[in-house]
């Protein structure tokens, strides 16, 4: 097992999140799945769970998230959360992670970090409720070392393209405490607190886009809730639904999601 900065992260975060713990596992099916299981079983203390290897990593829309051990950073953060409005949480998380890493990283609405028009990282946010309290599980997977495209139409980017010496442990150390602070700021102030920072990293703004229902338009940023604004000839549409996907015209990738997490718990 590599050396992880668990103690340093705990020292920085515990004053903000009482009962917080950091856990590093050599292997698990999925850090998101495990934290969702724990919450549903009543073990809902705030936790940062890192896995050196996931055997069933999950992405959005039932997709898999595959990464070789050592080639990526995979972790999930669970915490009780009660924002007035959950809209835009994935964008706030993206802003925080990007700000902790590099100015060249863009955010592809609603859940991805991109570098030079290639995917660098994915965010998967789920929620579960227990005893009337809703908990968020925020999963992040970041490609650290370069890897082959694995049949993907667009081969992924890696963080070492920007920061050649960086490893998974150092990446986590940079990200973790700022991410907790960002999520707590989101709980207090909502997406508005992140809107300007998101705009600086918006990959889709000013690009011709097409949605899954065949609408063409120009990306015009996001509104105050984090909904994507798509200017068609006749109107400006707001896209926040999980049912609509959007991709740049001529691009090979798609996105389908909402900027607010989907409740999964009972
Ligand atoms: C996506 O791109 O669709 C989201 C990918 C999220 C992957 C991370 S890796 C850590 C956490 N555990 C999972 O099973 N998924 C998330």
Q: Which amino acid residue places its CA nearest to atom 9 of ligand 1?
A: 141
Count of C-beta atoms within a 10 Å radius of residue 110? 29
pLDDT in tens, 74-130: 999 999 999 999 999 999 999 999 999 999 999 999 999 999 989 999 999 999 999
**Distance between CA atoms of residues 27 and 5, nearest Å:** 18
> Taking a C-beta distance cutoff of 8 angstroms, is the pair 57, 121 a contact?
no
CA nearest to 76, candidates 104, 38, 106: 38
Distance (Å, rounded) from C-alpha 48 to C-alpha 34? 11
Ligand 1: nearest atom to the Cα of 140: 8
- The answer to whether residues 48 and 20 touch, using CB atoms and an 8 Å cutoff, is yes
CATH superfamily label, 6-200: Bira Bifunctional Protein; Domain 2 (3.30.930.10)
Angle at 252 between CA 237 and CA 245, to 5 degrees: 30
Percentage helix, strand, coil, to 5, in the chain? 25, 30, 45
Q: Which atom in ligand 1 lies closest to the alpha carbon of residue 60? A: 3
Active-site positions read 60, 119, 247
Instruction: Give the length of the chain.
Output: 266
pLDDT in tens, 22-35: 999 999 999 999 99
What residues does 219 pair with on adjacent strands? 230
Annotation: CATH topology of 204-256: SH3 type barrels. (2.30.30)
Domain residue limits, the chain: 6-200, 204-256
Q: How far is the CA of 30 from the centre of ligand 1 (A)?
A: 8
Mean pLDDT value of segment 183-195: 98
The atom number, within ligand 1, closest to the CA of 57 reads: 14
Query: What's the whole-model pTM score?
Result: 0.93
pLDDT in tens, 147-179: 765 666 668 999 999 999 999 999 999 999 999
Mean predicted lDDT score pLDDT of the chain = 91
Give residue 131 CA to ligand 1 midpoint distance, Å: 26
Cα–Cα distance measured from residue 120 to residue 115, given in angstroms and rounded to the nearest whole number: 6
CA distances from 253 to 45, 112, 153, 258 (A): 37, 11, 8, 16
pLDDT of residue 214: 85
Q: CA 90 to CA 10: how far, in whole Å?
A: 23
Give the span between the Cα atoms of 176 and 105, in whole angstroms.
Answer: 17
Tell me how far apart the alpha carbons of residues 180 and 93 are, in angstroms, rounded to a whole number: 9
- Are 95 and 87 in contact by the 8 Å Cβ rule? The answer is no
Pocket of ligand 1 (CB under 6 A): 30-32, 54, 57-60, 63, 65, 74-76, 112, 122-124, 139-141
């Amino acid at each position: 097992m590599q050396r992880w900065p668990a103690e340093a992260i705990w020292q920085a975060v515990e004053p903000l999140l009482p009962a917080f713990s950091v856990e590093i596992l050599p292997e698990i099916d999925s850090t998101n799945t495990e934290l969702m299981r724990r919450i549903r079983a009543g073990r809902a203390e705030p936790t940062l769970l890192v896995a050196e290897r996931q055997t069933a990593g999950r992405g959005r829309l039932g997709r898999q998230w595959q990464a070789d051990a050592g080639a990526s950073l995979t972790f999930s953060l669970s915490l009780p959360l009660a924002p007035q409005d959950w809209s835009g949480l994935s964008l706030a998380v993206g802003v925080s992670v990007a700000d902790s890493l590099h100015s060249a990283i863009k955010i592809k609405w609603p859940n991805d970090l991109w570098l030079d028009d290639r995917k660098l990282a994915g965010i998967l946010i789920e929620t579960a409720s227990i005893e009337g309290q809703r908990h968020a599980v925020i999963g992040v997977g970041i490609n650290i070392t370069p890897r082959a495209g694995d049949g993907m139409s667009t081969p992924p980017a890696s963080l070492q393209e920007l920061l050649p010496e960086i490893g998974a442990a150092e990446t986590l150390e940079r990200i973790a405490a700022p991410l907790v602070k960002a999520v707590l700021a989101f709980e207090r102030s909502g997406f508005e607190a992140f809107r300007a920072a998101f705009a600086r990293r918006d990959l889709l703004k000013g690009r011709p886009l097409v949605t899954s229902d065949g609408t063409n338009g120009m990306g015009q940023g996001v509104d105050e809730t984090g909904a994507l604004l798509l200017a068609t000839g006749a109107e400006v549409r707001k896209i926040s639904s999980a049912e609509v996907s959007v991709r740049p015209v001529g691009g090979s990738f798609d996105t389908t999601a909402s900027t607010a997490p989907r409740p999964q718990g009972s």
